[in-house]
Structure 1
Amino acid sequence: MKRNDLQNRLIDFGVNTTNICEKLPASYTARYLADQLCRSALSPALNYGEAQMAESRKDFIHKMKVCLKELKESEVSLEIISRKNYGKSEEIEKLKGELDQLISIFVKSVQTARKTSTSKINNIHS
């Protein structure tokens, strides 16, 4: 997958999620979840942009892990919203499907970056 493809998917995920957040009821709990979800859903796109300009492999891995944490937070928020029946279930399920794919991509990316980092260290010591 190309870097811009992933960035666009993250942006789309953030936009689609904020669209759902804006439709949630005005109750205290729904507003709280909407605020949390908006932050966690938009954060991966922003942090991924930072990761592209990382100062080191360690910095890159850290920023990618931040993206992953925010995606996992979004996953929990969406599940709570779904269980509370706050939104249209088909929209939420579609977002959850995209979220599962994004989480898988970031898990694999972090694993690959760690392996690459470890193999470079091992080659230096050989």
Structure 2
Amino acid sequence: MSNILRDKSFAFASRVVKACRYLAEQQREFVLSKQLLGSGTAIGALVREAEYAETKPDFIHKMALARKEANETLYGLELLVSTNLSTPRQAESLHLDATELLKMLTSSIKTAKTALTSTPKN
């Protein structure tokens, strides 16, 4: 069974790893690339954790953490461009993908919250 958010976050993490490798090897940039590596790969890891959440609130919490990591990744990409460590063109595709993940995570959180509030309590 396919899970679009899981697949996209994994593919994104893979691209982030390659981008960070490039930054380290070609640009000799280590601080920002490690921060980007951490936040960019954490998105998918948290989505995976959320798959086995113990409760609906736990699921929402893990997805909210993934959304925060996506936002941090966007910040890192913007910082790389503003400091001329990356051109806007180089960062554009990753930025678009991170924005898409952010939107997907927000939608998942809203859906889960709606389901949580509409579930009858015993």
What TM-score does the superposition give when structure 1 sets the normalisation length? 0.87
The 5 Å alignment of 1:1-126 reads: 4-24=3-23, 25-26=27-28, 30-120=29-119, 123-124=120-121
Distance 1:51 1:84 in 2: 35
C-alpha distance after superposition, 1:60-83 (max 9, x if no partner):
001101100110110100000011
Distance 1:124 1:14 in 2: 38
Query: In structure 1, what is the Cα distance between the partners aligned to 2:2 and 2:68?
Result: 19
Verify the 8 A CA contact 1:7 1:49 in the aligned structure 2: yes
- Aligned-partner Cα distance in 1 for 2:2–2:95: 22
| Uncovered stretches (5+) of structure 2, i.e. residues with no partner | none
Following superposition, the deviation at residue 89 of structure 1 comes to 3.1
Identity across matched positions, percent: 28
Measure the CA separation in 1 of the matches of 2:41 and 2:87.
20
- Which is further off, 17-26 or 100-109? 17-26
Amino acid at match of 2:81: S
Q: CA deviation at 1:87?
A: 2.3
RMSD of the alignment, in Å?
1.5
Aligned length: 119
Flag as ranges the 4+ runs of structure 1 deviating above 4 A: none
Structure 1 residues 75-84 or 87-96, which shifts more? Answer: 87-96
